[in-house]
Structure 1
Amino acid sequence: MDLVLVRHAIAAERGTVANDAERPLTPEGAERMREAARGLARLVTPQVIVSSPWLRAVQTAEILREQFGLGKVRISETLAGDDYQAVVEMAAETDASPVALVGHEPWMGELLAYLLTGDPAGMAVTFKKGGAALVRAAGEPRAGNCWLEWFIPPGALRRMAGS
């Protein structure tokens, strides 16, 4: 099974809205994500997109959905929490591959570490806003039983879109 981990795009600054979960993407962030999504499309085609319920992640997931011509984005509270195993189980239950998971830092970096090492603190990883990684597993993903195929910052994805 393949998992595409994506950090949300550039969002409004903290403190600009009362509830952090309601911070939207900036117009620049949305445009940059559209470009990054075109670059991502050169590498992988997700079959399902699952997003954190937070607005900036949902908006990022919608940009991906449009790029890939997929149906409705699935929303999962697990992508806004800290239960890494619940995310792995939720992704496996989609019966699709690849599954794109859209979320936040530092959580996405910790999820990547969990998948690769079995420990969310097992390695230091930071996703830039709009960055993505492809994680592979033979069969269903399990903690420490996956491997990293690629990890690409958003600027490289945008440059790939222009190639």
Structure 2
Amino acid sequence: MQLLIMRHGEAGWHTVDQERELTESGRQHVAEAAVQIAESPWRPKIIWSSPYTRARQTAAIVAEILNCPVEEKSFITPDDDPGQCLDALLETDASPLMLISHMPFVGSLATLLVDGHRRGIPFMTSQAVLLDMPVVGPGCADLKAQFLP
């Protein structure tokens, strides 16, 4: 399985966490990263997005550039357990799959899949990584590419 994990674009701080919207700079950086992904051989079949506004906005920009459908997933919000997402990954046959979420979730999921622990690596806003997993499981992924705005 190939999994693209992306952190949402830069968001403003003028409202409650779930409703924070992307800044203009955030929108631009998301588009820049999405264009890099579009030019790569790893175009996702589907995008899983957190239901938070900034993630949904990020997913909409990426989906338009990649011509890809989006599904909202309630289990990929900032403080969710990456183990629940791992269970969902075991159930899907969509590959490459893209997941758009938040810190600390994206960092915890990436380190769980690559290193087998949940300490979490930092992700910048609009950053995406490509993980390649012959088998979906903790410690089974290799980091193959990074996409930065």
State how far apart, in whole Å, the 2-side matches of 1:9 and 1:114 are: 23
- Which moved further from structure 2: 80-89 or 41-50? 80-89
When normalised by structure 1's length, the TM-score is 0.84
Alignment RMSD, CA only? 1.4
CA contact (8 A) 1:45 1:98 kept: yes
State how far apart, in whole Å, the 2-side matches of 1:39 and 1:63 are: 13
- Residue 2 in 1 paired to residue 33 in 2? no
CA contact (8 A) 2:20 2:53 kept: yes
- Residue 69 in 1 paired to residue 64 in 2? no
Q: Structure 1 residue 32: deviation in Å?
A: 2.1
Partner SS for 1:97: coil
The one of 79, 90, 93 aligned to 1:92: 90
Identity among equivalent positions (%) equals: 33
User: Counterpart of 1:157?
Assistant: none
State how far apart, in whole Å, the 1-side matches of 2:104 and 2:10 are: 15
State how far apart, in whole Å, the 2-side matches of 1:152 and 1:36 are: 6
Q: Structure 1 residue 25: deviation in Å?
A: 0.4
The one of 102, 108, 131 aligned to 1:135: 131
When normalised by structure 2's length, the TM-score is 0.91
State how far apart, in whole Å, the 2-side matches of 1:144 and 1:68 are: 29
Partner SS for 2:87: helix
Partner SS for 2:25: helix
State how far apart, in whole Å, the 2-side matches of 1:100 and 1:36 are: 13
User: Counterpart of 2:141?
Assistant: 146
State how far apart, in whole Å, the 2-side matches of 1:27 and 1:153 are: 17
State how far apart, in whole Å, the 1-side matches of 2:63 and 2:103 are: 21
User: 2:104 is aligned with what amino acid?
Assistant: P
Q: Structure 1 residue 94: deviation in Å?
A: 3.1
CA contact (8 A) 2:10 2:125 kept: yes
CA contact (8 A) 1:49 1:65 kept: yes
- Runs of 5+ unmatched residues, structure 2: none
Runs of 4+ in 1 over 4 A off after TM superposition: none
Note the alpha carbon deviations across 1:33-68, whole angstroms, 9 max, x for none.
Answer: 112211121222000100111110111011111111
- Residue 126 in 1 paired to residue 122 in 2? yes
User: Counterpart of 1:54?
Assistant: 52
State how far apart, in whole Å, the 1-side matches of 2:104 and 2:71 are: 21
- Runs of 5+ unmatched residues, structure 1: 155-163
Partner SS for 1:79: coil
Note the alpha carbon deviations across 1:135-157, whole angstroms, 9 max, x for none.
Answer: 11114x11111111123332xxx
